[in-house]
């Protein structure tokens, strides 16, 4: 397919919207990004990037002439052929996805003379496309097409994932609209899965559920390893080499967090329940993850006798490395539990900032976090933690208790340095 320059509007200048906009500009399209946050749009106009995502600032800078930013719907829509929706869909109190931002975008769309296609990038429940189609038809906007093109990128590698995806999923009501969206990706070498809208929507939810299931599976294997004297790192290596299983998402740890997995698992659970189906496996996956985050507290209690009055250093706040995103980060659950037990909590993170967490102190270095602490927990596997001189830091701690929540460090080396080192699913030394 040939690369044609298309004018694309992207609604939402968050993690997904900015990466989508920058990558489409990189592919040669003309992109206008619209957000309701005036500060964010002004900053982007000045060349400032409001989020941390590796490679994004270079991409935005390189494609400046094909990118513009606005808060105005009319400006975004002017002359546009395709409107990408990349607004947030957080959970409501009931666990369903909150689609209010999506509906705002749809309801604000003005009538257009020439056909435009709305493309859903936000993660939405199955059936959303059908509802949007109905709403557009009710308003007499039959010349607005609708396509589901879910996003599978991961924060931290989003630019690479967008430009080199495993697949592109396109679900359309109208074949021509689907072809237009497929053509936008010309220049990207990846299989395209063409589907109906409901199946495209479900593909996104199912992909996340599959990944979460693997994480909770290996975490449960880790817990059984601990009880039986096996080492989950070896076990994961052994099963990951099986071609039918594969190695990814088999790293045991303290559970998943982030802006997607927790909310998307809840949304799929609710979607199933609302449709009359009890999704037993997914319920277990969610529960295992909740318990996994709390197991660290048990490990600390065992070593410290009581947590009240102790100082615990959390190494890492972001829900994973290479992002500043702290939404649903396991560190926040740990901090909350530790504070409830009466411990003092310090957090170190190279990028993410503690915001509105009373009782938690942010420190600027790993050394600062460990000095005088009774225990340290490695929460996020930031690469710089591999470069730390752990030997030198050990003597600065009041008690050298170390829980490696990501199985990142070498147990034998850490124990040889004098740490009371524990990890996840690895026999205690």
Ligand X SMILES: NC(=O)c1ccc[n+]([C@@H]2O[C@H](COP(=O)([O-])OP(=O)(O)OC[C@H]3O[C@@H](n4cnc5c(N)ncnc54)[C@H](O)[C@@H]3O)[C@@H](O)[C@H]2O)c1
Tell me how far apart the alpha carbons of residues 355 and 349 are, in angstroms, rounded to a whole number. 12
| Closer residue to ligand X (CB): 329 or 393 | 329
Q: Is 259 in the site for ligand X (CB under 6 A)?
A: yes
Structural tokens at position 421: 């080192």
Q: Is 261 in the site for ligand X (CB under 6 A)?
A: no
State which of residues 81, 155, 328, 422 lies at the interface with ligand X (CB under 6 A): 155
State which of residues 151, 226, 328, 349 lies at the interface with ligand X (CB under 6 A): 151
Q: Is 68 in the site for ligand X (CB under 6 A)?
A: no
Contacts of 224 (CB under 8 A, 6+ apart): 230
Cβ atoms within 10 Å of 415's Cβ, excluding its own: 15
For residue 17, the minimal CB distance to ligand X (Å) is 6
Strand partners, 312: 345, 375
- Give the H or E element holding residue 222: helix 197-228
Cβ atoms within 10 Å of 357's Cβ, excluding its own: 18
Number of residues that bind ligand X (CB under 6 A): 27
| Catalytic annotation present for 23 | no
Q: Is 77 in the site for ligand X (CB under 6 A)?
A: no
CB 397 within 8 A of CB 376: yes
Q: How far is CA 152 from the centre of its chain?
A: 10
| Closer residue to ligand X (CB): 105 or 282 | 105
Q: Is 53 in the site for ligand X (CB under 6 A)?
A: no
Tell me how far apart the alpha carbons of residues 197 and 121 are, in angstroms, rounded to a whole number. 12
Judged by phi (left if over 0) then psi (alpha if -120 to 50, else beta), residue 271 lies in alpha
* Active-site residue identified among 27, 168, 205, 260: 260
Distances (CA, A) of 176 to 113, 171, 183: 18, 11, 10
- For 312, list phi and psi in degrees, rounded to 5: -115, 130
Q: Is 257 in the site for ligand X (CB under 6 A)?
A: no
Stretch that binds ligand X, among 54-62, 87-95, 167-175, 304-312 (CB under 6 A): 87-95
Stretch that binds ligand X, among 116-124, 136-144, 329-337, 371-379 (CB under 6 A): 116-124
Spell 55-82 as b/e; 16+ CB within 10 A means b.
bbbebbeebeebbbbbbebeebbeebbb
Q: Is 56 in the site for ligand X (CB under 6 A)?
A: no
Stretch that binds ligand X, among 11-19, 61-69, 224-232, 277-285 (CB under 6 A): 11-19
State which of residues 6, 8, 9, 11 lies at the interface with ligand X (CB under 6 A): 11
Ordered alpha helix ranges (H), 230-316: 232-240, 261-274, 280-304
CB 425 within 8 A of CB 223: yes
State which of residues 88, 165, 253, 316 lies at the interface with ligand X (CB under 6 A): 88
Stretch that binds ligand X, among 10-18, 168-176, 270-278, 344-352 (CB under 6 A): 10-18
What is the DSSP code string of 342-353?
A: T-EEEEE-SS--
Sole residue written with tokens 């290996």: 218
For residue 24, the minimal CB distance to ligand X (Å) is 15
Q: Is 122 in the site for ligand X (CB under 6 A)?
A: yes
Q: Is 321 in the site for ligand X (CB under 6 A)?
A: no
Sole residue written with tokens 């997995």: 261
| Closer residue to ligand X (CB): 266 or 403 | 266
State which of residues 36, 43, 388, 427 lies at the interface with ligand X (CB under 6 A): 36
State which of residues 17, 316, 405, 411 lies at the interface with ligand X (CB under 6 A): 17
Q: Is 89 in the site for ligand X (CB under 6 A)?
A: yes
Helix (H, G, I), strand (E, B) or coil at 53: coil
Tell me how far apart the alpha carbons of residues 255 and 285 are, in angstroms, rounded to a whole number. 10
| Closer residue to ligand X (CB): 155 or 322 | 155
For residue 132, the minimal CB distance to ligand X (Å) is 14
State which of residues 80, 153, 289, 326 lies at the interface with ligand X (CB under 6 A): 153
Of 279, 275, 208, 214, which Cα lies nearest the Cα of 246?
A: 214
Q: β-strands 344-348, 168-172: how paired? A: unpaired
For residue 30, the minimal CB distance to ligand X (Å) is 18
State which of residues 15, 84, 279, 421 lies at the interface with ligand X (CB under 6 A): 15
For residue 413, the minimal CB distance to ligand X (Å) is 34
Which residues of the shown chain bind ligand X in the complex (CB under 6 A)? Answer: 11-17, 34-37, 40, 86-89, 101, 104-105, 121-123, 151, 153, 155, 259-260
The catalytic residues are: 260
């Amino acid at each position: 397919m040939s690369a044609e320059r298309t004018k694309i509007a992207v609604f939402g200048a968050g993690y997904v919207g900015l990466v989508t906009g920058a990558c489409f500009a990189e592919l040669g399209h003309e992109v206008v990004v619209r957000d309701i946050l005036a500060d964010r749009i002004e900053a982007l106009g000045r060349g400032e990037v409001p989020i941390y995502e590796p490679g994004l600032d270079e991409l935005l800078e390189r494609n400046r002439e094909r990118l513009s930013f606005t808060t105005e719907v009319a400006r975004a829509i002017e002359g546009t052929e395709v409107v990408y929706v990349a607004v947030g869909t957080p959970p409501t109190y009931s666990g369903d996805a909150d689609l209010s931002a999506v509906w705002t975008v749809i309801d604000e769309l003005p009538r257009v003379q020439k056909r435009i296609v709305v493309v859903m990038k936000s993660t939405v429940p199955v059936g959303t496309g059908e509802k949007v189609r109905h709403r557009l038809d009710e308003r007499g906007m039959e010349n607005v097409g609708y396509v589901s093109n879910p996003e599978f990128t991961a924060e931290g590698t989003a630019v690479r994932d967008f430009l080199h995806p495993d697949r592109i999923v396109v679900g359309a009501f109208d074949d021509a609209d689907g072809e237009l969206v497929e053509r936008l990706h010309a220049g990207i070498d990846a299989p395209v899965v063409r589907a109906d809208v409901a199946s495209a929507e479900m593909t996104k939810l199912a992909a996340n559920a599959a990944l979460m299931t693997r994480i909770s599976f290996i975490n449960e294997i880790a817990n059984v390893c601990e009880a039986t004297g096996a080492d989950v790192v070896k076990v994961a290596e052994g099963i990951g080499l099986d071609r039918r299983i594969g190695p990814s998402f088999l790293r045991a740890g303290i559970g998943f967090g982030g802006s997607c997995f927790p909310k998307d698992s809840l949304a799929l659970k609710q979607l199933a329940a609302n449709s009359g189906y009890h999704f037993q496996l997914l319920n277990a996956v969610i529960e295992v993850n909740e318990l996994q985050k709390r197991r660290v507290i048990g490990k600390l209690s065992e070593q410290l006798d009581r947590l009240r009055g102790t100082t615990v250093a959390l190494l890492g706040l972001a829900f994973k490395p290479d992002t500043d995103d702290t939404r649903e980060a396991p560190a926040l659950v740990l901090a909350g539990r530790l504070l409830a037990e009466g411990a003092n909590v310090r957090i170190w993170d190279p990028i993410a900032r503690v915001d509105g967490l009373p009782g938690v102190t942010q420190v600027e270095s790993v050394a600062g976090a460990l000095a005088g602490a009774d225990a340290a927990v490695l929460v996020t596997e930031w690469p710089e933690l591999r470069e730390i001189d752990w030997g030198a830091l050990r003597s600065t701690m009041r008690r050298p208790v170390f829980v490696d929540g990501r199985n990142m460090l070498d147990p034998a080396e850490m124990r040889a340095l004098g740490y009371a080192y524990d990890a996840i699913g690895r026999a205690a030394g």
